Chain A
Amino acid sequence: EIVMTQSPATLSVSPGERATLSCRASQSVSSNLAWYQQKPGQAPRLLIYGASTRATGIPARFSGSGSGTEFTLTISSLQSEDFAVYYCQHYNNWPPPPWTFGQGTKVEIK
């Protein structure tokens, strides 16, 4: 099973500032990495797939990078609606499932 580790657990950021979230895989997942945003009381929403491709309707201030085992989600200028929990997930075809999530990074208002 591939273990996904996110850091930090909590990130305190002021509106308008940049946020950088990290995700590490225990073995290479190539670019088979997705990021999701979850707001309180809501279902997760797909933000990024293929490590760097924004999903439909996702603003350009969200960007993803990385490959192999190290990945980054950057929010260039935080808006009020961006304060949420962010999860990374690998979806590599090998090894067989589970397709695991990181434990999440909570982005909170500083």
Chain B
Amino acid sequence: EVQLVESGGGLVQPGGSLRLSCAASGFTFSNYSMNWVRQAPGKGLEWVSYISNSSSTIYYADSVKGRFTISRGNAKNSLYLQMNSLRAEDTALYYCARGAGKSHLFDYWGQGTLVTVSS
């Protein structure tokens, strides 16, 4: 059974940093691209970042480019999101989502970890 479990969320002040993690199990992690998708409270879904299976290709949404860094550790079956210079508008539930094959749709999602940016 595919499982994705996020952790690392919490309350942080504007300008602060946070590192999210996603532990994957139930599939060969190194064969799949991974993504972070976020959802602000009461709002819709926003794709945040993509990393290919080998980390050779990385993309970011313009809203986080230069502030967030995605990475992965295939030996640890883990995905990460380093978030710096956090803003109030980054407040959201952050999901990790598996990429489906070679396409950029998301076939499995974790339950999310909540990031709140507030003073």
| Chain A residues with a Cβ under 8 A of chain B | 32, 34, 36, 38, 42-46, 49, 55, 87, 89, 91, 93, 96-104
A43 with B111, Cβ < 8 A, contacts A49-B100, A91-B105 known: yes
Enumerate the 9 nearest inter-chain pairs by beta-carbon distance, A residue then B residue, closest first: A91-B104, A43-B109, A34-B105, A101-B45, A91-B105, A97-B59, A99-B104, A103-B44, A104-B44
- Which one, A42, A49, A97, A103, contacts B105 given CB within 8 A? A49
CA distance A100 to B62 in the complex (A): 12
The residues of A that contact B107 with a CB separation of less than 8 Å are 46, 49, 55
| Chain B residues with a Cβ under 8 A of chain A | 44-47, 50, 59, 61-62, 95, 100, 103-112
The residues of B that contact A32 with a CB separation of less than 8 Å are 103, 105
The residues of B that contact A43 with a CB separation of less than 8 Å are 95, 109-112
Asked if A97 and B103 make an inter-chain contact with CB atoms under 8 angstroms apart, the answer reads no
CA distance A98 to B49 in the complex (A): 9
A97 with B104, Cβ < 8 A, contacts A87-B44, A102-B44 known: yes
Asked if A98 and B61 make an inter-chain contact with CB atoms under 8 angstroms apart, the answer reads yes
A44 with B45, Cβ < 8 A, contacts A49-B105, A97-B50 known: yes
